[in-house]
Structures are given as structure tokens and as C-alpha cells.
Structure 1
Amino acid sequence: MNAVIDHLVIAADSLEQGSAWCAATFGVQPSIGGRHPLMGTHNRVMAISSESFPDCYLEVIAIDPEAPAPGRPRWFGLDRPEVREAVRESPRLVHAVARTRKIGMLHRELGNFALNPGELLAVQRDTPHGLLKWRITVRDDGWTECAGALPSLIQWEGHHPCAHMPLTDVALQGLVLRGLPTQAVGVLNIPAVHTSPINAVKNAPLTATLKSPRGHVVLDAGQFRG
């Protein structure tokens, strides 16, 4: 095991839209998150930990209308016209992020297989419990590798956000990543995650299954291509 799933990324047109979607989809609203000055985004978060996916959460993320433009493409494809158009209609699952204590090593090994997870960036945001700090892989074009199926890598410095996140009755039960090269699967070695080939016509690059007060919820990521 070199990495575990840390969080799912839901792109939204606004945090208000994303919160309303969570309430309608799961029967639970996310709690307050914070702002990301480096990227000009902000978020709200919701614990979705389970036995198979400990210390895991769902992030609703949107462009912060009060933040200055970051001078670079934002992460998770949030600036791309096709993503902007899609999330105006409804929030969408776009990505999963994998937590590791070996981010430098895994970053290098993925690069050795001609994969581009992005550069390692140092990021932080304020919280009522102190400063959250982490390193994360972000491509220069703001997009995600393998149409979003290759998780971004994250390594937290200090406490994990789930330590101060309210518990919920929402739990991640399963995650399928489609179209990952065999070498990437071996490098990451993520437990409880299923991988399979992708049919560009029929399959989403990733599918998450969650248990919630509204029943089982299956989320397919949009088929956005980088």
C-alpha cells in the first residue's frame, strides 16, 4: 500500500449550488471549508469515511468570485469551458485524490511511466483549528491525468481535515478507476479501489458508490478529456 483515497472532488458552479445538491443527493449538507488563495477557489467539506476508506471526505469546490485570478489554470479543470458549462447545470464528480506519505517517490515513479500527475505544489488554507498545510500534484494546465482517473497525490503536513470534521451518515463504499495504465495501478497500490479498462463511449473514468440517508448513491465522473 503506497496510497489511500483521501477525498472525492465535486466541482460546482457555486458553493451554494453544491451544498443544495448535497442536501438533495445525500440528505446531508457539507460543513464550512475555506479559501485556497493559490488557486482562487473555495470549498465545503463532508466526512464520508468508512471501514474501507478511513479518514475520507467529499469536497465541494468552486471558483471563488471574491478571489483574484490566480495567474495560472485552476486545479481539477475548473477553468475549462466544458467543465464550466457542465457544472452550471449541476455539480459533478470530477476527480479523486489519494493520500500518501511517499509523495516524492510516487511522483517520480509515475513520471517514469510517461504519466504527468503534475508538479508538487505547497498549498495551505486557514481553518478555525489552525492552518492546514499540504503538498499536492497539479498539472500546469490545471487538468487531471487519464481523464481524471489517475488520482492526484496529496501529503498532509500536521493534522488531517477529517480530525475536525463533523461525522455524517454518508460513507464511501466503493470506487472504480477506469483506464489507468497497469504501471500506475502498481505504483499507487491503493486498497479497496477497483480498476478496469475504459470504453470511451460507455464508461466514466471514475465511479463512486456511497451510502447515505437517501439510500445508495452512484456518482459517475464526467467524461472530460485533457
Structure 2
Amino acid sequence: MPNCQLDHIAITATSLEAGADLVHEALGVRPLPGGEHPRMGTHNLLLRLGESVYLEVIAINPAASSSIGRPRWFGLDSLALDAASRLATWIARTDDIQASLAACSEPLGKVEPMSRGALNWQITVPEDGSLSLGGLAPALIQWEPGAHPASRMPDLGLSLTKLKFFHSEPERVTAMLQSLGMPGTDGLIEVACLSGGQSPYLAAYIDTPSGPRILSGAIL
């Protein structure tokens, strides 16, 4: 049985500036520079949410080559020019990405090597670059041995206390989490039912120096 853990949450945006504005409005702080992903033509901003949990703002890098030979991850190619920034998906950490991928009840794509600066990892990416299960199924990530990236980020006093999954088929989400060996994860994860016709979304509950805040991925 896999033993996956929540690694980070991802905000998709048409630009890093737009994503940073959403984070500042919701949490009262601005994410810090991350780096570039050469294989995907993207770049990011980062914000620590715990010892081994963080928030990522990710967007297409306008300075990167427009021809990367494949769809970008996290559905970035399908974003409209005026699309609102939102909490789009999450990433689950594993020590055996192939076994976790095989065990997952939802299709997550294939395992690919990735890098950002000196960091290297393996991650699952759907071939069409889409968000699995509307963003409620994670990308799986396996970091190279060493300190977790969150431990290298400044601690600005933020902490993720809960990630809530909203879906019209909550039993499907629960089955997916169970297949990854992370049902509930000590209260960090909760699944809620949506009425039919509503798009699935995530909500992150985060303690900040200004009090508890909610970062929602609902499409309005």
C-alpha cells in the first residue's frame, strides 16, 4: 500500500504577478521567487506552509521557448487570457512513484523527470497536460534524497491546517485518497459533497499571522 503525503498546493495563473496578487489578497503575504522549469516552459513563486508543505504559484514563462514539444502541465495551455488565478490542484509526495501511480484509482499520466535550478525530481504528468479529476487527483512527486524544498524557504508564519475536496462524487475522491494510502491524513484532508452540476474544487485552510484564512479554487 502506498504511503503518500501532501507535498504542496498549486495556484495556476496567467502570470506570476496575477497569482501573487491572489495570494496577497487571500493570505496577506506575497509568495517569493522560485525558478524556471525548462522542460515545461513555466516558472513559479513559492510560499512555505510548514516544514514539508508549501504553496506554489505557477504560470507560463514568457521568456521561455514557445515550442516545448508537448502540452504544459497543470492545464496552463488551456487558460484563457483573462482567466482568474485559482487554487487548481495539489501534489502528493511518495518514496516510490511507480508503485503509487500503479495503485492510484485515477489516471495520473506518466512519470517524467523535472528540474528547477539545482532541484531534481520525478513527477506524474497527463499526456494532454490536463488536471486529473478536475484538479482533485494529485500529481505524484518523488524528490531526490535531501532536505525538502519547504525547509529552505523563509518561514513567514503560515501553516496549512486543512485541504478540503469538493466533488459531486465524494466516494470517488475518497477511494482515490485511500488508494494512495492517505485517507484523512490526521485531519489534514476532508472530502465534501457538491450538488450536481457544480465544478469540483479545492479549498485550503491556512493559519496566518493575521488569523485563519481560506484560499478557494472554486470557479465563480
After TM superposition, the score normalised by the length of structure 2 is 0.86
The answer on 1:101 being equivalent to 2:104 is: no
On the 8 A contact 1:2/1:187 being kept in 2, the answer is no
The amino acid of 1:62's aligned partner reads A
Q: Give the equivalent residue in structure 2 for 1:75.
A: 73
Tell me, which stretches of 5 or more residues in structure 2 are unaligned?
A: none
Deviation of the 1:103 alpha carbon: 1.2
1:200 CA displacement? 4.2
Give the CA deviation at 1:104. 0.9
Q: 1:185 to 1:20 in 2, by over 3 A?
A: closer
223 and 137 in structure 1: CA distance in 2 versus 1, 3 angstrom threshold: farther
Deviation digits for residues 38-94 of structure 1 (CA, Å, limit 9, x no counterpart): 100000100011xxxx410000111000101222111110111xx334xx3532110
Q: 1:202, 1:77 → 2: CA distance?
A: 19
Amino acid at match of 1:10: I
What CA deviation, in whole Å up to 9, does each residue of 1:104-136 have, x standing for no partner?
Answer: 1110112xx4x210100100111xxxx101111
Amino acid corresponding to residue 140 of structure 2 in structure 1? L
Moved more, 162-171 or 176-185: 176-185
Aligned 8 A contact 2:136 2:173 in 1: no
Count of aligned residue pairs for this structure pair: 209
Distance of 1:3 and 1:120 partners within structure 2: 16
Say whether residues 1:116 and 2:103 are aligned partners: no
Match of 2:19 in 1: 18
Q: Does 1:172 align with 2:163?
A: no
User: SS at 1:48's partner residue?
Assistant: strand
The normalised TM-score by structure 1 is 0.84
User: Greater CA deviation, 188-197 or 92-101?
Assistant: 188-197
**Alignment pair present for 1:142 and 2:129:** yes
> Alpha carbon RMSD of aligned pairs, Å?
2.1
Q: Residue 177 of structure 2: which of 185, 194, 204 is its match?
A: 185
